[in-house]
Amino acid sequence: MRALLVEEERTELLRLKAMLEQEDGIQVVGMSEKGARLEERLKEWAPDIVFLDLDAQANGGLELAARIRAADPVVDIVFTARSDRHALEAYTVYPLDYMRKPVDHTRLARTIGMARRRSEHGAQAISDGAADSRLVCLGSLTIRRPNSETAYPRWRTTKAQELFAYLLHHRGHMVSRESLFRLLWPEFDAERAAAQLYNTIYTIRAVLKSEGLHITIAKGGPAAGYRLDLGTVRLDVDLWEQSLLALSSLGRDTASRYETVLNAYTGDYLQESEYGWALEERLRLRELWLDNACRLAGFYRSHGMDEEANSMLQRLHLTHVLPSLMPIEHASAAERS
């Protein structure tokens, strides 16, 4: 695997190079402290993975990453930074990872492992133009391509769509056949429900293959159940919550980042589907958004930023959450504002 390092801190550059050279099969083909004329040398270096410093604005890290992605849509990009302040914007160019400096050797080894797994099973996804696609659950269940196009999978049946959504909801965990029988085919006996489940899983796998998504649905045994693993596909819900948790204390220098994260909440969890099993998660995520939106509106108002405060409160009213979900202390604060 060919690695390119773009890092303005000389000490960190040499440290990262030394750690990478301890990994089997890694060749550092280029190093740059400035990022200048980098695109011109990409063909010469032909990297499989680029480690890109985001701290120094002189090299325009995000803009440079976008140009690298445009020049080579399949190269893995790993951002390094001393804080999370660029984390949300960084994911607009679909990086493999975002690592805090100083980079930890264990974390680096894990990231290299991710890159290797992607390389092993990513050829078909690349040919389909679906590498690093993102599943969208905030609003409609859709696919966001690396080129920002939105795709609507053709599930063929409503049962197939709900089964996929349910396995996605429980991603990484085995879901028993019996629970799936009760959810989707409660009127059928076990033998008939098992046949329906088998056929529906086959349909889902065919849809995922046609969309170029390398999502694995593994069977746990003859009667155990199924587990969905996302592989390299990212989920907008996870990215949004990670961005929210990475925010530092609310203040004048962080308010705009709070608003950026809150604006990324583009709809309630699976809001266009009436799945009873999704309601608890839908309310949890909405409450997270609501709590932070109310805090931000209160911050704006207390600092005399009336236009920003009113804009945020307007959005709270438009989502119809003020009367139904807002805790009493939030409602009172909003009314006073």
Q: What is the pLDDT of residue 73?
A: 61
What integer is the mean pLDDT of 189-196? 92
Lowest mean pLDDT among 11-25, 95-109, 264-278, 307-321: 307-321
What integer is the mean pLDDT of 248-265? 90
CATH of 153-229, one of 1.20.120.160, 3.40.50.300, 1.10.132.50, 1.10.10.10: 1.10.10.10
Q: Which of 205, 296, 196, 202 is nearest to 255 (CA)?
A: 296
The 3-state secondary structure of 127-176 reads HCCCCCCEEECECCCEEECCCCCEECCCCCCHHHHHHHHHHHHCCCCCEE
Confidence grade of residue 186 (pLDDT, cut at 50, 70, 90): very high
What integer is the mean pLDDT of 250-272? 91
Whether 138 contacts 265, CB under 8 Å: yes
Mean pLDDT, the chain, integer: 83
Strand partners of residue 2: 27
How distant, in Å, are the alpha carbons of 6, 61, 320 from that of 35? Answer: 6, 8, 47
Lowest mean pLDDT among 51-55, 65-69, 172-176: 65-69
Lowest mean pLDDT among 22-36, 207-221, 253-267: 22-36
Confidence grade of residue 272 (pLDDT, cut at 50, 70, 90): confident
Q: What is the pLDDT of residue 28?
A: 93
Does the pLDDT of residue 184 top 80, yes or no? yes
Q: Which two tokens stand for residue 111?
A: 């990231």
As a whole-number percent, the residues of the chain with pLDDT over 90 amount to: 42
Q: What is the pLDDT of residue 132?
A: 64
Give the C-alpha separation, 258 to 244, whole Å: 8
How distant, in Å, are the alpha carbons of 170, 227, 252, 281 from that of 183? Answer: 14, 16, 48, 17
Lowest mean pLDDT among 73-77, 254-258, 288-292: 73-77
The 3-state secondary structure of 194-256 reads HHHHHHHHHHHHHHHHHCCCCCEEEECCCCCEEEEECCCCEEHHHHHHHHHHCCCCCCCCCHH
Question: Hey, how many other C-beta atoms are within 10 angstroms of the C-beta on 314?
Answer: 11
What integer is the mean pLDDT of 173-190? 95
The tens digit of pLDDT for each residue in 282-325 reads 999 999 999 999 999 999 999 999 998 888 888 887 664 444 33
Q: What is the pLDDT of residue 36?
A: 57
Q: Which two tokens stand for residue 66?
A: 């976008």
Strand partners of residue 329: none
Confidence grade of residue 127 (pLDDT, cut at 50, 70, 90): very low
Does the pLDDT of residue 163 top 90, yes or no? yes
Confidence grade of residue 120 (pLDDT, cut at 50, 70, 90): low
- Beta strand pairing call for 234-235 and 134-136: parallel
Q: What is the pLDDT of residue 223?
A: 67
Write the single-letter amino acid at 224: A
Q: Which of 195, 206, 121 is nearest to 180 (CA)?
A: 195
Annotation: CATH topology of 2-121: Rossmann fold (3.40.50)
Give the C-alpha separation, 56 to 106, whole Å: 25
Q: Which two tokens stand for residue 198?
A: 């088998």
What integer is the mean pLDDT of 91-118? 83
Q: What is the pLDDT of residue 327?
A: 40
Give the C-alpha separation, 98 to 80, whole Å: 6
Write the single-letter amino acid at 136: V
HSE, side-chain direction, 13 A CA sphere, residue 24? 2
Lowest mean pLDDT among 88-97, 145-154, 273-282: 88-97
Give the C-alpha separation, 9 to 58, whole Å: 12
Does the pLDDT of residue 335 top 90, yes or no? no
As a whole-number percent, the residues of the chain with pLDDT over 70 amount to: 82
Write the single-letter amino acid at 180: L
Confidence grade of residue 232 (pLDDT, cut at 50, 70, 90): confident
Backbone φ and ψ for 4, nearest 5 degrees, come out as -120, 135
What is the 8-class DSSP label of residue 8? S
